[in-house]
Amino acid sequence: MMQIIRKQLFFYLMGACLLLTVGGRAGAQEIQVSAKLDTATIALGDQTTLRLRADVPEGTAVRFPQLADTLSAKVPIVQVGAVDTLRGETGRQAVSQTYLITSFDAGVQVIPELEITVGDSTYRTEALPLQVASVAVDTTKAIYDIKQPLEVSYSWLDWLRDNLLWVLLALAVLVLAGALWFYLKKRQKTPVPTPVEPAPDIPPHELALGKLTALRDQKLWQQGAVKPYHSELSDILRDFLERRYRIPAMEQTTDEILTALAATDLPDRQKARLRQVLTLADLVKFAREQPLHTDNEQSMAQAIEFVKEAAV
């Protein structure tokens, strides 16, 4: 009798082990991870959303990759979304996280494989292609002025009705200011101010060369401040262009500046030199480019030579 009971116990234990093995394999097969882009094609500088998702049994811990600044060298992250959990069918849940991304480099950029940790196991998503289309600029067309606003009939009575409160407030301030001025004038005699001689006008090229020399002496990029160095260098050249050629360079992109300079007598070598300095500055500021030390030094040298030749 005892031998029969032992045999039955042995078969029960073997069956339980088999069930646990099958259950473990089934649980592993229930875990699925995926990566998806809202749109696989964007224009240069536009944004799209990368969505990571893990379909797991309910209660399973899911950890997404800790990404802060970039997915790759040419795909920066604009914003990291919060982790969202959605319960599905009985015993299942979908855990997802979004990343708002962009790119300033035209062509096909690759979203690399990303690791998602589920429990004690790690799973990898598939790599995704992101097509970044460049913006075509027709430099052969002439530059036109901004169209002026349409004139609308608007009398001073209309303006007074719309701004009555402000007009009354301004009148009250003027009355109070006049009364205060009259009171102070009676109490003391206003001293005669010392005339101040106007500062002499400094030629644009001398002003720019002084700023460039001061920037070089600060040794910003040697101290790791590469982005502030190129930003200040770009601003100095743009200010010089505004003073020298009367163009709104501080408000224009690099391509718009070069288009505006097409109508001037600036030599082609000067335009190429200017394009090289401003383009590298744009890459450092917006695409987080890390130039070589020689590139930093060459940008300063190119900027000084450009200002000196443009002053002639």
Is residue 183, in this structure, part of any structural domain at all? no
Rg of the chain over all Cα atoms, to the nearest angstrom: 34
| Residue 118 confidence (pLDDT) above 90 | yes
Residue 91 domain boundaries: 30-133
Position 283 confidence tier, pLDDT thresholds 50, 70, 90: very high
Q: What is the DSSP string of 73-121?
A: TTEEEEEEPPPEEEE-STTEEEEEEEEEEE-SS-EEEEE---EEEETTE
pLDDT at position 197, please?
Answer: 56
Domain boundary among the residues 111, 133, 155 is at 133
> Which is higher by pLDDT, 299 or 7?
299
Q: Give the chain's length.
A: 312
Position 191 confidence tier, pLDDT thresholds 50, 70, 90: low
Going by C-alpha positions, the residue among 261, 262, 265 that lies closest to residue 248 is 261
306 and 208 belong to one structural domain: yes
| SS3 (DSSP) at 51 | strand
Is residue 268, in this structure, part of any structural domain at all? yes
Is residue 249, in this structure, part of any structural domain at all? yes
pLDDT at position 65, please?
Answer: 92
Q: Which CATH number belongs to the domain containing residue 126 in this structure?
A: 2.60.40.10
Residues of the chain above pLDDT 90, percent: 46
115 and 210 belong to one structural domain: no
Q: Which residues pair with 226 in a beta bridge?
A: none
Is residue 196, in this structure, part of any structural domain at all? no
Is residue 156, in this structure, part of any structural domain at all? no
Is residue 112, in this structure, part of any structural domain at all? yes
| Residue 20 confidence (pLDDT) above 90 | no
Q: Which of 198-202, 242-246, 255-259, 279-283 has the lowest mean pLDDT?
A: 198-202
Q: Show the 3-state SS of 162-193.
A: HCHHHHHHHHHHHHHHHHHHHHHHHHCCCCCC
Quick one: average pLDDT of 227-235? 92
| Residue 5 confidence (pLDDT) above 70 | no
| Amino acid letter for position 176 | L
Q: For residue range 120-152, list pLDDT tens digits in order.
A: 999 999 999 999 998 776 677 767 667 777 777
Q: How many CB atoms lie within 10 A of CB 135?
A: 10
Q: For residue range 72-86, list pLDDT tens digits in order.
A: 889 999 999 999 999
> Which is higher by pLDDT, 183 or 1?
183
Calpha distance 122→95 (Å, rounded): 15
Domain boundary among the residues 100, 133, 166 is at 133
The CA-atom distances, in angstroms, between 216 and each of 138, 209, 302 are 36, 10, 13
Position 1 confidence tier, pLDDT thresholds 50, 70, 90: very low
Q: Which of 129-133, 192-196, 282-286, 292-296 has the lowest mean pLDDT?
A: 192-196
Is residue 186, in this structure, part of any structural domain at all? no
The CA-atom distances, in angstroms, between 149 and each of 145, 152, 272 are 12, 9, 37
Q: For residue range 42-59, list pLDDT tens digits in order.
A: 999 999 999 999 999 988
Give the mean pLDDT of the chain: 84
Is residue 25, in this structure, part of any structural domain at all? no
pLDDT at position 183, please?
Answer: 84
* Number of domains observed in the structure of the chain: 2
| SS3 (DSSP) at 273 | helix
Quick one: average pLDDT of 289-309? 90
| Residue 61 confidence (pLDDT) above 70 | yes
Position 62 confidence tier, pLDDT thresholds 50, 70, 90: very high
Residues of the chain above pLDDT 70, percent: 84
Domain boundary among the residues 96, 117, 133 is at 133
